[in-house]
Amino acid sequence: MFAIKAVSYTDPAAPALFARSLHETGFAVLKDHPIAPDRIGRAYSEWGQFFASETKFGFKVQPPSPEGYFPFRSENAKGSKTKDLKEFFQVYPGTHLPGSVEATTRGLYKDLVALGITMLGWIEANTPEDVRARFSESLPDMLRGSDNSMFRILHYPAQTGAPPEPGATRAAAHEDINLITLLLAGSAPGLEAQDRNGDWHAVPCDGGMIAVNIGDMLQLASGGYYPSTTHRVVNPPVGDNGARFSMPMFIHPRSEVALSPEKTAGAYLNERLREIGLA
Ligand SMILES: O=C(O)CCC(=O)C(=O)O
Ligand SMILES: [Fe+2]
């Protein structure tokens, strides 16, 4: 059974239900969360205007820095031959931002880190003792003083005109590298998660919901108790000319946090970025 649970933030049973869904599927969905819908709506509209303007080219990423604007079809998932059909902007606490998005985006960044700490507390409290004993410090503590969490604003343009290159999708199948990801509901469907048999399931995530998933770092730190589930974003049906926006926050620990006796978060991240040609 692969049932991604949608839990209400206000339900006293939420922390346990949430952790169980993450253990069983690598995903859970949060409703009635404390982030103001108004701020999320503003972020979508301000970033929508940014992606529609030429200003974006002035914010182009300068490798090896991971911050700034990544043009359409600039990234492919590990092992994928085609480029994803997306453009995006990556934000860290020190990232230079366009004035038109700055206040809203910095506010949302802080909201999402705070919610991430709460979610890590829920996970910590509902993890079996033998698994928890592996953590080098409590999961919320791993974030103390961390400036490594990354907020990504994604735009998957409308697919009008010629069909995309064979095999190219909005986001090819991949796993996230970080501890957990908090994904502000996409503006359109398309996100799917893979179960252990290889079958794909739509992630339930209506407007206003936040999907949470496990990344490789928490999979490693928990000895596999929390699986970093493969996921992807499929193309819209032919004739659907809508764009899609989504905003994942990738929660990262401080670089010196030990994920396992052999590996710190910083060393692990570097290794993974080298694999995909980003370090
Ligand atoms: O756009 C989405 O819904 C998911 C994006 C994603 O998985 C990622 O950027 O890692
Ligand atoms: Fe992802």
- CB of residue 189 inside a 6 A radius of ligand 1: no
- C-alpha triplet 218, 26, 250: angle, nearest 5°: 55
Q: List, for residues 59-79, the tens digit of each pLDDT value.
A: 999 988 999 999 998 777 777
What does the pLDDT read at residue 93?
98
Site to probe by mutation for ligand 1, drawn from 231, 244, 276 as the one with most ligand atoms within 8 Å of Cβ, is 231
Confidence check: pLDDT of 86 > 80 = yes
Give mean pLDDT, residues 71-93: 87
pLDDT band, residue 258 (cuts 50/70/90)? very high
Is the alpha carbon torsion for 62, 65, 70, 75 positive or negative? positive
What does the pLDDT read at residue 239?
84
- C-alpha triplet 129, 135, 137: angle, nearest 5°: 115
Q: Is the pTM of this model over 0.90?
A: yes
Q: List, for residues 30-56, the tens digit of each pLDDT value.
A: 999 999 999 999 999 999 999 999 999
Query: Which atom of ligand 1 is nearest the CA belonging to 246?
Result: 1
- CB of residue 154 inside a 6 A radius of ligand 1: yes
The pair of three-digit structure tokens given for residue 3, joined into one six-digit string? 């049932």
Q: Whose CA is nearest to atom 9 of ligand 1?
A: 248
Residues 213 and 231: beta-carbon distance below 8 Å: yes
- CB of residue 177 inside a 6 A radius of ligand 1: no
Percentage above 90 pLDDT, the chain: 82
What does the pLDDT read at residue 164?
77
ipTM of the shown complex: 0.99
- For the chain, domains (ranges, CATH) are 6-275 (2.60.120.330)
146: left (phi over 0), alpha (psi -120 to 50) or beta: beta
- CB of residue 105 inside a 6 A radius of ligand 1: no
